Amino acid sequence: MSIQAPAAEAHVSVAIVGGGQAGLSMSYYLKQSGIDHVVLEKRSVTHAWRAQRWDAFCLVTPNWQCALPDYPYRGDDPHGFMKKDEIIAWLDGFVRHVDAPVREGVAVTRVARRPQGGFLVQTSDGALSADQVVVASGGYHTPIVPRMAERLPAHVVQIQSSEYRTPEALPEGAVLVVGSGQSGAQIAEDLHLAGRKVVLAVGEAPRCARFYRGRDVVDWLADMKYYDMPVEEHPLREGVRDNTNHYVTGRDGGRDIDLRKFAHEGMELYGVLEDYADGKLRFAPNLQENLDSADATYNRINASIDRFIAQQGISAPPGNSYQPLWAPQAEREWLDLAASAIGSIVWCIGFRPDFSWIDLPVFNGRGYPGHVRGVTAQNGLYFLGLPWQHTWGSGRFSGVARDAAYLADRIAAQARPDARAA
């Protein structure tokens, strides 16, 4: 829906919404092209890395994959995994490197077409008009929480994965972690290592090995050009965007996350959490299936590395197939909340996109934008930083620079002659 713009709004050639690594990368390339723009950030730049990661967080991707525009990782541990403080320090350097024209504390509340052309960008601090708009507001907006959560007893503390900080910050008693994707598996591990009793509802997330045949699996996959594969060439096509990330960790130099090992050590594993009734949690009888499926992915990735090594004639230490060291004796479907002394729940079952503030018809039935490499059917509207936007690395440190450079060229080609004057 188009609306009448106020007469005296400020104008900018390009408005970038979001001051995370994606928005700042976009700003970097627009600065290179001399195109005037503004970055509108509702909190502060790189907020997600500062405020939405737990204390023991470290990268899952190796440091060498931290490759923002003309700002590679230059530390002495390219095959290591930066801890939270190190990531923030590295990003602080990137913020200085870009020196973007940012307005912090300014939320974009609406983007719509102007009748006279371009876009009206309404913000918490007034409106502006823009010839082009780049939405770089991240890929993880609204945490998913099943409505059964409303019926859980009030004394059970419930938090989102993005709110989890330390094992000590949770109340006494067992902790139920719901979901075993990258966040759920690592948070369960963090609690487990701290000696907390953990009950984990295991979902359908796949897993992969950290190291295989003498190298980080990421190194092998990079050599195999997996990270250069565009979404159109992926066997799942756009469907890959719905995939849950593989669980593995960079903690303590990197290692596998093996939930069977945790179970062997006392963590209680269940299948997918389905309901709560009469003081009891009900789980789907799919723990065995989910563990087997995660292991199958683990073995499948390793087998693809085996094939690559054989095809290329590479000399590498021998590989082996994962042998399960624990299996559930029976599927347990009910857990009495009081008897299990669960005092807190950490929800780790993903996020829904929230682009409700974009008043333009570019979304599918699930609220995901239609685009090709971030270019939408609405002339001048772009997305950047979405998971698998173009390649695996689009929503990460490794691929956002390539995507931003691509969009910068598109934007420059469309920019009005006076866009560069500023």
Ligand X SMILES: Cc1cc2nc3c(=O)[nH]c(=O)nc-3n(C[C@H](O)[C@H](O)[C@H](O)COP(=O)(O)OP(=O)(O)OC[C@H]3O[C@@H](n4cnc5c(N)ncnc54)[C@H](O)[C@@H]3O)c2cc1C
In the list 137, 180, 249, 286, the residue contacting ligand X (rule: CB under 6 A) is 137
Binding ligand X (rule: CB under 6 A), the pick from 396, 403, 407, 411 is 396
166 secondary structure, DSSP code: -
Written as six digits, the tokens of 405 are 């450079």
Q: Of 13-21, 262-270, 361-369, 373-381, which segment contacts ligand X by CB under 6 A? A: 13-21
Is 60 among the residues that bind ligand X (CB under 6 A)? yes
Q: Which of 80, 167, 203, 385 touches ligand X (CB under 6 A)?
A: 385
Least distance from ligand X to the Cβ atom of residue 187, Å: 9
Which residue from 88, 95, 107, 112 is in contact with ligand X, where contact means CB under 6 A?
Answer: 107
Q: Would you give the binding string for ligand X spanning residues 145-184, x where CB under 6 A is met? A: --------------------------------------x-
Cβ nearer to ligand X, comparing 138 with 254: 138
Shortest distance (Å) from residue 46 CB to ligand X: 7
Q: Is 75 exposed, middle or buried (0-12, 13-18, 19+ CB in 10 A)?
A: middle
Interatomic CA distance for residues 73 and 277, integer angstroms: 50
- Whole-number minimum distance, CB 399 to ligand X, in Å? 8
**Other Cβ atoms within 10 Å of 225 Cβ, number:** 9
Which single residue brings its beta carbon nearest to ligand X? 20
Options 130-138, 219-227, 235-243, 256-264: segment touching ligand X (CB under 6 A): 130-138
Q: Minimum distance between the CB of residue 93 and ligand X, rounded to whole angstroms? A: 16
Nearer to ligand X, 14 or 40 (CB): 40
* Displacement of CA 350 from its chain's centroid (Å): 9
Question: Positive or negative, the Cα torsion across 289, 291, 295, 298?
Answer: positive
Q: Is there a contact between 172 and 342 (Cβ–Cβ < 8 Å)?
A: no
Identity of the residue numbered 366 = R
Residue 131 beta carbon to ligand X: minimum distance, rounded to whole angstroms:
19
Task: Return the DSSP state at 54.
Answer: -
What distances in angstroms separate CA 350 from CA 43, 160, 161, 283, one per listed residue? 22, 9, 9, 18
Provide the minimum distance between the beta carbon of 356 and ligand X in the complex, in angstroms, as a whole number.
10
Tokens describing residue 278? 């009469």
- The residue (of 189 and 276) whose beta carbon lies closer to ligand X is 189
CB of 406 to ligand X, least distance (A): 15
165: left (phi over 0), alpha (psi -120 to 50) or beta: alpha
Residues 108-127 that bind ligand X (CB under 6 A): 108
- Distance, in Å, from the CA atom of 308 to the CA atom of 312, rounded to the nearest integer, reads 6
Binding mask 20-59 for ligand X (x = CB under 6 A): xxxx----------------xxxx---xxx---------x
Query: Is residue 358 near ligand X by the rule CB under 6 A?
Result: no
19 binds ligand X, rule: CB under 6 A: yes
Residue number with CB closer to ligand X (85 or 275): 85
Closest separation between CB of residue 31 and ligand X, Å? 17
- CA distance readout (Å), 381 to 15, 97, 118, 151, 397: 10, 26, 9, 41, 23
Buried-exposed string 377-390: b where 16+ CB fall within 10 A, e elsewhere: ebebbbbbbbbbbb
In the bound complex, what is the minimum distance in angstroms from residue 407's beta carbon to ligand X? 13
Can residue 397 be called a binding residue for ligand X (CB under 6 A)? yes
Residues 66, 398: contact at Cβ < 8 Å?
Answer: yes
CB of 153 to ligand X, least distance (A): 28
Q: Does 140 engage in binding with ligand X (CB under 6 A)?
A: yes
- CA 115, CA 133: separation in Å to the nearest integer? 16
The reply to whether 388 sits near ligand X by the rule CB under 6 A is no
Q: Is 309 in the site for ligand X (CB under 6 A)?
A: no
Which run of H or E residues covers position 17? strand 10-17
The C-alpha atoms of residue 266 and residue 408 are separated, in whole angstroms, by 52
Tokens coding 394: 């689009």
Separation of alpha carbons 155 and 338, rounded Å: 11
Q: Between 59 and 202, whose beta carbon lies closer to ligand X? A: 59
Point out which residues bind ligand X (CB under 6 A): 17-23, 40-43, 47-49, 59-61, 107-108, 136-138, 140, 183, 357, 385, 395-398
